[in-house]
A and B are shown apart, each in its own frame.
Chain A
Amino acid sequence: MYHRGEKSLAVPMSEPNGTEALDRLMREYQQGSLAAFEALYRALASRLRSFIRTRVGHDARTSDLLQEAFLEIHRSRHTYLPGNSVVGWAFGIAQNVVLRHRHIELRRARYEVPTDTLEPEAELRAADLDFHPLQEALSKLAPDSRATWWMRHIEGLSFDAIARRLGIAAAAVRLRCSRASRALRAALEQGPGNE
């Protein structure tokens, strides 16, 4: 019996680590049982956490990736073939999530320069620049777009961090930033006073 009691399942409350018990839970989860998902989470989370941690290091991202792995497990629950190892299947999905994370990190590292690696001279030169046109262009942006662009390009937050802060999807943040950058570029190319 599960703590929610949403569906009556003949599965013990203790962690179902046996292959058959996990397989049975997975079948019930595929049939739409939330209680089965909860039981699977309890059975798999610690193993998946260790699996992810060993691949991404002792990183705060482990928790994020664990959640992402469970989201992917949920989306891909139809890919579990009854009778096969649930743990192997879940690890396969976690591996997929980790590889995707690495790919995104590599791509990000290729294009982003951490601010602490900038040379002081570069910062000094930046201080001499005239930011009035930029401020003027920024003031013309919609408040949401301006805030998103600011957090991304001035505060240097990641898309995911901004998404969490604003309570929207990371993809929406990317879109807003991209549109705001385009609008700013257009405004700066037009020059001050040209509407």
Chain B
Amino acid sequence: MNEGNIPASLLNHVRADLQPVTPLPAPSRRLLALVPLALILLFGPPIHWGWRENFALLPSWTTWGLSALESFGGAALMGLALRQAVPGLAVRTRWMGLAFAGAVLLFASVSLTTAHMLPTPFEDASSWSRIAWECVFMELPFALPSLAISAWLVARALPTRPALTGCAYGLAVGLMTDAGMRLFCAVDQPSHVFAAHGGVILSGAIGGALIATLIERVKYRWLQMRGGLDARGS
């Protein structure tokens, strides 16, 4: 087949829709645009809900230091998700897997270190589930808008593996939200932190994967409805 001949239908389609476009900013620049979001997620929960009662008892490296580290880890993962969404810049799946493992390890290390520095067991074991749900619901007002903004940023590009990309930004939002929540929540007992805070992070990852997959499907359907694929085979 002579590859120089462009199918007429394809050419017509391109000719009919050839307005100039503005290239997406580089993933690093788009990540910079997310810095305010990271700051809101870091400072928002403690400012809105109040600082943890035992804040002064902890050394600053375990409060500000570890939160900043967790927030930075989340931002790095977000950068990876934004990069993953651009064709040709996607990293290998195994690197993504390593990044996910690193995120989980970071969360676990931060939580266990804080618990080791200042163990805060429940005074009343019966309140375990109530406090866990409180944490979950207090994180949601910060996590959900951030998830929506991340989903929008990724949807502007074209992720080859939407589930993987969505999982990355969901995990990133979860980490960044937890970085702020741990400055609010005074309970460091691992069962609480892993179930409630970890549960939000896990839900973010699963939710991100589902949202990104759904968005790509809807985008594809929408393009089909617009007749964008009529050029095939003609």
Contact = CB atoms under 8 A, between A and B. Distances in A.
Given A32-B20, A68-B229, A95-B160, A76 B10 contact: no
A4 B36 CA distance: 48
B7 A93 contact: no
A139 interface: no
B89 A92 contact: yes
Given A80-B23, A99-B160, A171-B224, A71 B231 contact: yes
Interface string B1-44: 10110110111011101111111101000000000000000000
- Say which size band chain B's interface belongs to: 35 or more
B233 A160 contact: yes
Of B3, B23, B88, B233, the most chain A CB neighbours within 10 A belong to B88
B161 A99 contact: yes
A46 interface: yes
B87 A169 contact: no
A77 B21 CA distance: 8
B17 A79 contact: no
Contacts, number: 129
Contacts of B160: 92, 95-96, 99
B86 to A, nearest CB: 6
A68 B234 CA distance: 12
A100 B220 contact: yes
Contacts of B232: 64, 67-68, 71, 160, 164
Interface stretch (A33-41, A115-123, A141-149, A177-185): A33-41
Given A68-B232, A71-B231, A93-B87, A82 B225 contact: no
Interface in A159-175: 160, 163-164, 167-172
Tell me whether chain A's interface is mostly helix, strand or loop, or mixed: helix
Contact of A89 (B9, B87, B223, B231): B87
A174 to B, nearest CB: 8
A160 B231 CA distance: 11
Contacts of A19: none
Interface in A15-49: 30-34, 37-38, 41-42, 45-46, 49
Contacts of B21: 30, 77-78
Interface residues of A, number: 49
Given A88-B88, A93-B87, A30 B224 contact: no
Nearest to A6: B15
Interface in B57-113: 86-90
A68 B3 CA distance: 15
Contacts of A45: 3-4
Interface of A: 30-34, 37-38, 41-42, 45-46, 49, 63-64, 67-68, 70-72, 74-82, 84-85, 88-93, 95-96, 99-100, 160, 163-164, 167-172
Interface of B: 1, 3-4, 6-7, 9-11, 13-15, 17-24, 26, 86-90, 157-161, 220-221, 223-234
7 contacts: A32-B18, A37-B14, A42-B4, A68-B232, A89-B89, A92-B86, A169-B224
Given A30-B20, A92-B90, A99-B161, 16 more contacts: A30-B22, A37-B18, A42-B3, A49-B3, A63-B233, A64-B233, A67-B7, A67-B233, A71-B232, A75-B228, A81-B26, A89-B86, A90-B87, A91-B87, A95-B87, A171-B224
